[in-house]
Amino acid sequence: MKKSLRSVLALVIVISMMALVLAGCTPASTPTGSTTTPPPAAKLKTAMVTDVGGLGDKSFNDLSWAGLQKAQTDLGVSAKVLESKQLADYESNLTQLASAGYSPIFAVGFLMQDAVTKIATSTPNTNFGGIDIFFADPIPKNAVGLNFKEQEAGYLAGIVAGLATKGNFDARLNAANTIGFVGGIAIPPVQRYEAGFVAGAKSVNPSVKVISLYAGAFDDQAKGKELGLSLISQGADIVFAAAGQTGIGTFNACQSSKKALFIGVDTDQYMTLTNPGDTILTSAVKKIDTAVFSVVKDAVDGKFPGGQNKTFGLAEDGVGLSPYHDFDAKVPAAIKDAVTKAMADIKSGAVTVPSSLK
């Protein structure tokens, strides 16, 4: 009895404290909401919602944000980012931005497909872009899916790796004629990188052995390192990781073992990794920032490309290969020429890179 009385009293105290805090704070929020000066009618308010990886992933979240920031500088739009901490945040973040008048709003990452489809349908006057999201039919008129031909970037990386593993321009290159691939989670974009990488390597080195391993996570550096070491022990002297943060572990495996060179993914990882110069050969890049910027530009021009899934490949300057940086002097001209030729062939349509392993 006494005990239950105590809990009731406890409840009352907690509730009244909460009410007090609420009462004390609510008035203060009114000025907060109105301190931002209303933008001129013509000025677009753009925004994005990150996936649970958040900003600082040095991958698609950061790249999308870079695209919005460029739009902010070059096009005079405003830009806002909301980070998601759990899956449930996707829908509420998109809802909040839509009701605050932001448009276009970018949903970053394939996990947001359900949420952005639902909100785009329920708020038809707000435009949405989905990074790595392939909208199912019927595509809402106010939504555009932005997808990439990762296989084409992977193909170029494969050509570099396939030729380099036969070469001897670095002491770490062995005679095993083996290269490795580390994937984060087996989702379509990662599988496209893998398919292109294998095809590219085989196109210049038909007998090359490509070993692929998947970590099952984009944020598990320990696993990435373990997989990298495993590939190295199987003779791989060049490892391409399309695995987000997991790939940082793979890079560390290559660097610390001094037995393999590394190929980065999505961004030019020479710029984002710590002291990568001695290990990173190049990166297969996916220019999400360019794609985001182009959509904002279209929106500013009043031509938001809604109701479709857009695909960005080499021809659209949506994917590519980063510079060789510290390896630029060492990489033989034969490799550089092969890459240049492949780029021309893909752009002209003479070569079509497979998007899945067959």
Partner 1 sequence: MSEATKSPTVDAWWMRLLTTVGVPLLSVALAMAIGSVIIVFSGHDPIAAFSALLQGAFGGWRQIGETIMRATPLMLTGLAVGFGFRANLFNIGAEGQLILGSLGAAWLGLLLAPLPPILSIPLILIGAALFGAAWAFIPALLKAKVGAHEVITTMMFSWMALYLTSWIVSGPLADKGGIPQTPMLSGAVWLPTFDTIIPGLPPMRAHLGFLLALLVAVGVSLVLRRTTLGYEVRAVGFNPSAAQNGGISIPLTTIYALCISGALAGLAGASEVLGVTHRFFDQVSAGSGFGFTGIAVALLGKKNPVGILFAALLFGALSAGGGTMQLEADVSQKIITIVQGLIIFFVGAETIVTWFIKRRKRLALEREGATNA
Q: Tell me phi and psi for residue 172, to 5 degrees.
A: -80, -15
175 binds partner 1 (CB under 8 A): no
Per the CB < 8 A criterion, the answer to whether 306 and 143 are in contact is yes
- Binding of partner 1 by 80 (CB under 8 A): yes
Query: 15-44: which residues touch partner 1 (CB under 8 A)?
Result: 17, 21-22, 25-26, 28-29, 32-33
Report the chain's C-alpha Rg in angstroms.
24
Site map 124..143 versus partner 1, x via CB under 8 A: ----------x-x-------
Cβ distance 178 to 236 under 8 Å? yes
Contact in structure between 167 and 148 (CB atoms under 8 Å): no
| Distance, C-alpha 330 to centroid of its chain | 29
Identify which range of 87-95, 150-158, 244-252, 290-298 contacts partner 1 by CB under 8 A.
Answer: 87-95
Nearer to partner 1, 101 or 323 (CB): 101
- Of 29 and 125, CB closest to partner 1: 29
Nearer residue to partner 1 within complex by CB, 126 or 282: 126
* Beta pairing partners, 213: 182
DSSP E strand boundaries for 100-247:
105-108, 128-131, 143-148, 178-183, 209-214, 238-242
Residue placing its CB nearer to partner 1 in the complex, 164 or 190: 190
C-alpha to C-alpha distance for 337 and 340, rounded to whole angstroms: 5
* Number of residues written out for the chain: 358
Rounded to a whole number of angstroms, the minimum distance from the CB of residue 150 to partner 1 is: 13
Residues that bind partner 1 (CB under 8 A): 2, 6-7, 9-11, 13-14, 17, 21-22, 25-26, 28-29, 32-33, 52, 54-55, 80-89, 91-93, 95-97, 100, 110-111, 113-114, 134, 136, 185-188, 191, 216-217
